[in-house]
């Protein structure tokens, strides 16, 4: 069990296997081939390669994790002699694994050319949610592409030449309206920064942040900067390549929000406009900007897949969790996107990208998980409240009900523990829950009109409010359903 502000984290250190590419297409035999000539050898399909494999409920933030480097090499295809048997076909994709709500580990597939290997396939592990902070930047890589052309026989005499056909307008002449993805990206990118955090021992990671105000404050995730917050070094690099040192103004581990301040901030900073996350609807378009695997200024798109998704996530270096009632999006979010903005179609920030679902477990030294279309963002309304408090006082303030709840899932709600941390009473004497008549053993099933399925769900909902807000709790006791109204208390700082 844990206090209402803490939980058991699930750590994941993922890696990524290669995915077989499409088999090469064998060249057709030329017309008019002499009779009796041996047929052209058929190229076998490419063989699959084995490679090392890779909160939100159970998400593990990557701060403080060992850095690793991911790279994919492409090998030229060399067909065997005709006497060689064709390689076995690749069974891809594999059946999708089950995805538990709170699980450990993560290893999604990574795309690259297959590499022959004699290694035995690794066993697939349990799925989990991981933080979208990159502890290893991709330093090199490429994707093969084809350049199309139009071939024309100008003479009709058997000797042919080829010419290229140009579009009527080159891309630089295209008009990109403000509401298009290109227009939103062009407007937002100058206000997004790539954050490099290095601890005192030289370890660190890469994340993202964005300009919050004209004074040079940068909003990001706590787990992006945690390793360098006390004795490390923080830098913020803009899309134009200009780099600035930064310092932590304040950070809230429970909310997973941090505010930085640029040293010698330049004039003319343009803060990103903040939207209203309460008005977001499922199906709304989303645009995510960040530095996935160190690839700065990357733009991806998707939709809002769900709202009020209970998420518990850890930074991978402590036994404390962060909680949020998250926005879920299928926009591609990967390690390094953490702290970056999730924008609506108009370019306003509606969330801070924080965690992703992974598909399987990993071990120390393996590379990180990648996107499978399940990303989670802190609603910007909550992030704004926390940021203002951090800028004002340097420490977070949390609303509380004054009761310790269990982190177990299968309790039909948030069950109040028999005792609190260190043997203290589960219901704080004189606290909001005590004044409302709640007792140890009560199971809270609703917070206002929102169903509560577990302790993390309750905490995430509580933290969308402010101290002093009046709320209604529905709970079960001895088979009866009761309701209680209470005023949220407060707790200052991370304990």
Residue found under tokens 């990993």:
362
DSSP string of 90-119, one letter each residue: P--SPPPPP--SS----------------P
How far is the CA of 272 from the CAs of 191, 245, 375, 389, in angstroms?
Answer: 6, 20, 21, 19
Distance CA 136, CA 193 (A): 17
CB 401 within 8 A of CB 486: yes
How far is the CA of 311 from the CAs of 56, 298, 356, in angstroms?
Answer: 3, 25, 10
CB 391 within 8 A of CB 249: yes
- Residue 126 backbone phi and psi in degrees, to 5: -65, 150
Question: Dihedral of CA 135/215/326/488: which sign?
Answer: positive
Residue 256 is among the residues annotated as catalytic for this protein: yes
Q: Which of 196, 256, 330, 344 is catalytic?
A: 256
Residue 223 is among the residues annotated as catalytic for this protein: yes
Classify each residue of 275-310 as buried b or exposed e, where b means 16 or more C-beta atoms within 10 Å of its C-beta: bebeebeeebbbbbbbbbbbbbbbbbbbebbebbbb
Cβ partners under 8 Å of residue 458, min gap 6: 4, 405, 413, 414, 444, 447, 452
Q: Which of 223, 227, 322, 332 is catalytic?
A: 223
Comparing C-alpha atoms, which of 333, 251, 244 is closest to residue 292? Answer: 333
Q: Which of 305, 338, 367, 454 is catalytic?
A: 338
List residues with catalytic annotation: 223, 256, 338
């Amino acid at each position: 069990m844990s206090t209402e502000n803490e939980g058991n984290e699930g750590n994941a250190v993922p890696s990524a296997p290669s995915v077989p590419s499409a088999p090469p297409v064998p060249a057709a035999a030329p017309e008019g081939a002499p009779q009796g000539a041996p047929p052209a050898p058929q190229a076998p399909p490419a063989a699959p390669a084995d490679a090392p494999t890779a909160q939100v409920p159970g998400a593990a933030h990557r701060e403080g994790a060992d850095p690793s480097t991911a790279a994919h090499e492409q090998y030229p295809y060399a067909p065997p002699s005709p006497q060689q048997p064709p390689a076995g076909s690749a069974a891809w994709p594999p059946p999708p694994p089950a995805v538990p709500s709170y699980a450990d580990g993560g290893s999604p597939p990574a795309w690259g050319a297959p590499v022959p290997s004699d290694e035995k396939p690794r066993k697939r592990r349990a799925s989990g949610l991981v933080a979208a902070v990159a502890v290893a930047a991709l330093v090199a890589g490429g994707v093969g592409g084809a350049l199309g052309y139009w071939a024309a026989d100008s003479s009709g005499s058997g000797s042919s030449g080829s010419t290229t056909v140009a579009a009527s307008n080159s891309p630089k002449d295209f008009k990109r309206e403000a509401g298009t993805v290109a227009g939103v990206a062009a407007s937002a990118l100058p206000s997004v920064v790539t954050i490099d955090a290095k601890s005192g021992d030289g370890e660190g990671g890469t994340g993202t942040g964005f300009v919050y105000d004209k004074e040079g404050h940068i909003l990001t995730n706590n787990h992006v900067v945690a390793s360098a917050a006390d004795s490390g070094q923080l830098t913020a690099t803009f899309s134009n390549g200009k780099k600035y040192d930064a310092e932590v103004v304040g950070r809230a581990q429970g909310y997973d929000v941090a505010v930085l301040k640029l040293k010698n901030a330049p004039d003319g900073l343009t803060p990103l406009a903040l939207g209203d996350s309460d008005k977001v609807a499922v199906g709304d378009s989303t645009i995510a900007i960040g530095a996935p695997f160190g690839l700065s200024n990357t733009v991806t798109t998707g939709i809002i897949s769900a709202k009020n998704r209970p998420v518990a996530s850890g930074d991978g270096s402590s036994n404390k969790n962060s909680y949020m009632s998250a926005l879920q999006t299928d926009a591609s979010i990967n390690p390094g996107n953490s702290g970056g903005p999730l924008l609506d179609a108009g370019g306003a920030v509606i969330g801070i990208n924080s965690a992703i679902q992974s598909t399987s477990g990993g071990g120390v030294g393996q590379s990180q998980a990648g996107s499978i279309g399940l990303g989670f963002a802190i609603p910007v309304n909550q992030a704004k409240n926390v940021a203002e408090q951090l800028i004002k006082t340097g420490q977070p303030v949390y609303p509380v009900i004054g009761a310790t709840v269990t982190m177990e899932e299968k309790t039909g709600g948030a069950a109040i523990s028999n005792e609190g941390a260190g043997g203290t009473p589960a219901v704080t004497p004189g606290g909001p829950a005590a004044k409302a008549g709640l007792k140890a053993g009560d199971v809270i099933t609703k917070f206002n009109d929102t169903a509560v399925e577990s302790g993390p769900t309750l905490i995430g909902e509580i933290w969308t409010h402010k101290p002093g807000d009046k709320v209604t709790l529905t709970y079960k006791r001895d088979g009866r359903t009761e309701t209680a109204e209470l005023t949220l208390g407060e707790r200052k700082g991370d304990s």
